Structure 1
Amino acid sequence: MNTRNTILSFSLIMLGACDGFLDQKPQSNLLIPQKAVELEQLLDATLLGINSTPGILEMSTDNLHITEEGFLGLTLIERNAYAWQEDVYEFLGSDWSVPYQQILAANVVLEQAGEIVPENSDDAELLIELRGRALWMRSQAYFQLLSAFAAPYSPGSANDSPGVPLRLSPNVSTFVDRGTIGEDYDQITGDLELAIGLLPEYAEYKTRPSKISSHALLARIYLAMEEYEKAGFHAGKVLEINNTLLDYSELDLAARYPFSLFNDEVIHHLEMMNYRHMNSGLTFVDSTLVGMFGDNDLRKELLFTPDEQGISFDGNYSGSRVRFSGLATNEMYLISAECAARRGDIGESMGILNTLLETRWVEGGFIPYTASNSEEALRLILMERRKELIFRGIRWTDLRRLNKDQRFATLVTRKIGSESFEISPGSPRYVLPIPPEEIQVSGIAQNPR
């Protein structure tokens, strides 16, 4: 089989699925992969957005400041998201369609991997691993969708709140309604637990899933679910395998982009889908956030570039302007520290946090943190989490999670020209509306705003 035609055919399937995911039926004459290597090529198809994550959520966080002129130069979707408008999408947005493309690819691989007869032992091993990669990718895509288009997970109401349509088959002609948040999270965490047993400890490339990236993704998901014991367990498993941290004092402070692609902290590489604000010279880091960094903190110089109008962010772990949204060891340190603090182990939580921060300060300039109680420890850890994980697509899920606790709730405000906007903790606008084109085609229920 011509594998280039396979990739092309599959891209056409996915593009067809974008036009109303639930009801569109792909053409019957499109090629279906028949070999393990062809399935692998589908999961490696970065040009089709396989390693992309939604980019619109960053617009709604408190990380950004956009000038009035810059705001007027954005797309309508970006302006709506920045000002938390009732309607965000004017058409089917990529933040909805691309994750479902990834899910479709994963479902094709999961179905076909069981149909293909391996040609040799290497093929047999690859088919097992491909099942693990597909389960990982499907789980990651569903987590992104749930973070945008469903309410934050709450144990007491997870089985009563609508999730997103959970499709587990490549047959896109079958209608799938919205299930519950609880059902969706049970599926993705269960799939990731299964993937751990199918994947190698490390992947050959950091764009492919592995055992360690499965633990890391579970740690991120369980944190969002407020399942702190499980989040801490999986973050700890990551650090048992790889606890590498970059020494920021060894990086080039004068470099335009000081962090290299696939650097030693990166566990799994993902990138945010590109939006106009990411390339705008009128989009800046919020000044309050920048003010949280001390003078001896090397992150202040490595992450930010000031000019006359504001401060730009250049600290992507992609080595470029592209926004890194993947998994890295520094995030695992912060999850481990937070979970230790929440279970009352203050000494361990501060030890983990200080191990991370010692690599971020001027040599000899860091004074280790101490805390006298769990709340003080949590405040320190959450402050450093905010500073360390800027523009990774994490802040939105953090706001949704932490807003449920009055101690850490945040009122986010904007001023655009003479108009002021705000989004209060617990607001229904912390859930994006499903694109209207999807509602019209599939008939699934819309999110209240």
Structure 2
Amino acid sequence: MKNIYKNVACILALGLTLASCDNYLDDVPKGSKVPTTLADYEAFLRDEYTNQVVNVDGAIYLMNDQFLTAATLSNNRLFNANYMWDENANRIDLKQSDETAYYRSYAGISTFNLIIENALTTTRATEQEQRVLWAQAKVLRAMNYFNLVNFYADTYVASTAGTKLSVPLITSANINAPSKQVTIQELYDFILNDLKDAIPYLPKVSQTALHPTLGAGYAFYSRVYLQMNNYTEALKYADLALAENNKLYDWIGYYNTNKAIIDVPNSYTTTVSPMGYTYVENYTYRHGSIYYLAAEFDIPVERAQRFETGDARFLSRWKIRTVGAETSYRRTLTGMFNFGGITTVEIYLIKAECLARAGQISDALAVLNTVRKTRILPASYQDISTSDKTTALNAIFKTKNNELINTLIPFADARRLNAEGVYKVSFTKTANGNTYTLKSDSHLWTMPFPQGATQNPGNGTITQNVAK
């Protein structure tokens, strides 16, 4: 128990640090508490601003899903390299400081490791209660590793996953635990094994939105298998997830309720985000990159133009605004946003893609249109109808990118599609009279590790996965 306390003191109380905690404390200080009960460990999972944050800023900048001002781009060369698709920039050199995406993810993994190691021996709990918390920590650990591997390593390709490196795998909460930078295949196997362990013990209803349910486990399984191009298994688990929760939020109703505020010209009065803890689409809730602002990102004009005409979700969230020489779409929601968890709309669209891949085009479009009917205003709505597989898939991809904007998923999907080579994703834009392009085979699709990680990797080694 002494080692547990030392880890909690060093990692959870003080945050990530490179200093050794070996001799930090030999005894519990007066007035302090050693975690022993299930409630003690469950409290770590509820520490949402440390352990439930998914920061993927670099991916959002690369996708141009956030508007960055000229001043910001001038002051931050790394932001500029991603946002302006600068193939010549050495992003490794520019990552001189620690990075939230990396360190907060591993802070969460340390916490989840701590719970996994101790939940089954806690006091004041039944064995079933212990197993539930243990399983929920396994799901959250797997989710963090999925985010890391799809940010800092190449996307999954079966023929190369066994040789290409992913990210450091750490399975102990001990401050001196060894780490190994495993292959992409090894990490995906680890993620799938965590899910296999967890599924039998996940509850159908959990105590808070932060605690994964059985539906969340199935939904995450579906996400992982889709990223591995295993459409059969992705569809299987999508159906299982939707059997647990298939609710879609009525964005048309939200728009109509708030229309008197939303439609006022040149007014940026905010309305309350429905995408918080009680969002009916939630399987599990996790914060995105800007959890502390209780707001979301402004988006570029070019990005706004990729939404469907009459999209009530878009109309309820952004409004065009010009400040000086810069025009963007200003955010108009305030509150909380489930940008790091999993929602039903993602699973509907995974199901639609899997059906289309299998040649079941009409079934796929029925699923897609089920989503669109809750989003597109009746005056603009028409069913998407086609017998062409490519047309159907492109419609699914478009809707999914719009639905999951400001999350990791559009970035992860683009990498998956580019590796497949059939439905490649690339972007072109014009700024200040110049044309910029993000090519489908650009090295920019893989983010470099921060220098703090490679220069001081702890009890292991880290090799960069990208040249610059």
Is the structural similarity TM-score above 0.5? yes
Question: Would you say the 8 A contact 1:106–1:137 is kept in 2?
Answer: yes
User: How many angstroms does 1:330 deviate by?
Assistant: 1.1
What per-residue deviation string (whole Å, max 9, x for no partner) do you get for residues 148-203 of structure 1?
11110111111101011111112231332211000101111121122111110121
Q: Which SS does the other structure have where 1:264 is aligned? A: coil
**Structure 1 residues 335 and 197 mapped into 2: Cα distance closer, same or farther (>3 Å)?**
same
Letter in 1 for 2:316: L
Determine what percentage of the aligned residue pairs are the same residue.
23
DSSP-derived class of the 2:239 partner: helix
Cα distance in 2 for partners of 1:137, 1:26 equals: 30
Matched to 1:439, the amino acid is: T
State the alpha-carbon separation in 1 of the partners of residues 78 and 271 from structure 2: 28
Determine the structure 2 residue equivalent to 1:381.
396
Q: Name the structure 2 match of 1:167.
A: 170
Question: Matches of residues 162-241 of structure 1 in structure 2 within 5 Å?
Answer: 162-241=165-244
Report if the CA contact (8 A) 1:218-1:231 is conserved.
yes
CA distance in 2, matches of 1:375, 1:187: 33
Deviations 1:348-400 (A, max 9, x none): 10111111111112236421111213222111111211222221222211211
2:68 is matched by which residue type in structure 1? Answer: I
Distance 1:285 1:229 in 2: 35
Which of 287, 302, 325 aligns to 2:316? It is: 302
Q: 1:417 to 1:25 in 2, by over 3 A?
A: farther
2:354 equivalent in structure 1: 339
Note the C-alpha offset of 1:221: 1.9
Confirm or deny: 8 A CA contact 1:62 1:412 kept in the other structure. Answer: no
Matched residue type, 1:86 = N
Q: Is the 8 A contact 1:284 1:310 kept in 2?
A: no
Write the distance in 2 (CA, Å) between the matches of 1:205 and 1:239.
Answer: 19
Whole-angstrom distance in 2 between the partners of 1:374 and 1:311: 34
Match of 1:12 among 10, 22, 26: 10
2:95 corresponds, among 85, 89, 108, to: 89
Q: Distance in 2 between matches of 1:288 and 1:327?
A: 27
- What is the aligned partner in structure 2 of residue 433 from structure 1? 448
Q: 2:246 aligns with which of 243, 247, 250?
A: 243
* 1:136 maps to 2:139: yes
From 287, 305, 313, give the equivalent of 1:291: 305
CA distance in structure 1 between the aligned counterparts of 2:330 and 2:235, rounded to whole angstroms: 30
CA distance in 2, matches of 1:89, 1:202: 41
Q: Which amino acid aligns with 1:343?
A: A
Contact 2:147 2:408 in 1 (8 A): no
The Cα offsets for residues 231-285 of structure 1, whole Å up to 9 and x where unpaired, read as 11111111112111122221123352453222211221111233999979xx742
SS in 2 for 1:307: strand
Report if the CA contact (8 A) 2:294-2:335 is conserved.
no
- Which range moves more in the overlay, 433-442 or 271-280? 271-280
Distance, in Å, in 2 between the alignment partners of 1:365 and 1:245 is 19
Q: Deviations over 1:62-103 (max 9, x none)?
A: 324434234235x55434443454224212211111111111
> What letter is aligned with 1:268?
T
Is 1:312 equivalent to 2:318 in the alignment? Answer: no
Quick one: structure 1 residues 285 and 372, their matched pair in 2 at CA, closer, same or farther if it must change by over 3 Å? same
**Alignment counterpart, residue 101 of structure 1, candidates 107, 110, 117:** 107
Give the CA deviation at 1:37: 0.7
* Matched residue SS, 2:182: strand
The SS at the match of 2:377 is coil
In the TM superposition, what is the alpha-carbon distance from 1:420 to its structure 2 partner?
Answer: 6.0
Q: Which amino acid aligns with 2:109?
A: I
Q: Which moved more, 1:138-147 or 1:365-374?
A: 365-374
Give the superposition deviation at 1:7: 9.7
1:291 Cα offset (Å): 2.1
List runs of 5+ in structure 1 lacking aligned partners. Answer: none
Mark the runs of 5 or more structure 2 residues left unpaired by the alignment. Answer: 263-269
Determine the structure 1 residue equivalent to 2:463: 445
Give the count of matched residue pairs.
Answer: 435
Distance 1:160 1:346 in 2: 36
Matches within 5 A, 1:353-372: 353-363=368-378, 365-372=380-387
Displacement after TM superposition at 1:315 (Å): 7.4
Q: What amino acid is the match of 2:173?
A: P
Query: For each residue in 1:322-370, what CA deviation from the matched residue of structure 2 results, as whole angstroms up to 9, or x when unmatched?
Result: 5723211111111110111011111110111111111112236421111
Which amino acid is the alignment partner of residue 111 of structure 1? E
In structure 2, give the amino acid aligned to 1:285.
Answer: I
C-alpha separation in 2, matches of 1:279 and 1:361? 23
Alignment RMSD, CA only?
A: 3.0
Q: Aligned pair in 2 of structure 1 residues 78, 8: CA closer, same or farther (>3 Å)? A: farther
Point out the more displaced range, 434-443 or 254-263. Answer: 254-263
On the 8 A contact 1:13/1:27 being kept in 2, the answer is no
* Conserved 8 A contact 2:357-2:389: yes
**1:325 partner SS:** coil
1:415/1:135 Cα in 2 relative to 1: closer, same or farther (>3 Å)?
same
Which residue of structure 2 aligns with residue 72 of structure 1?
74
Q: Distance in 2 between matches of 1:86 and 1:15?
A: 35
1:403 & 1:367 partners in 2: Cα distance?
A: 30
1:59 paired residue number:
61
Q: What CA distance in whole angstroms lies between the structure 1 residues aligned with 2:429 and 2:295?
A: 21
Q: Please, what TM-score do these two structures have when normalized by structure 1?
A: 0.87
Deviation at 1:441, TM superposition (A): 1.4
Look up the match of 1:350.
365
What CA distance in whole angstroms lies between the structure 1 residues aligned with 2:101 and 2:216? Answer: 22
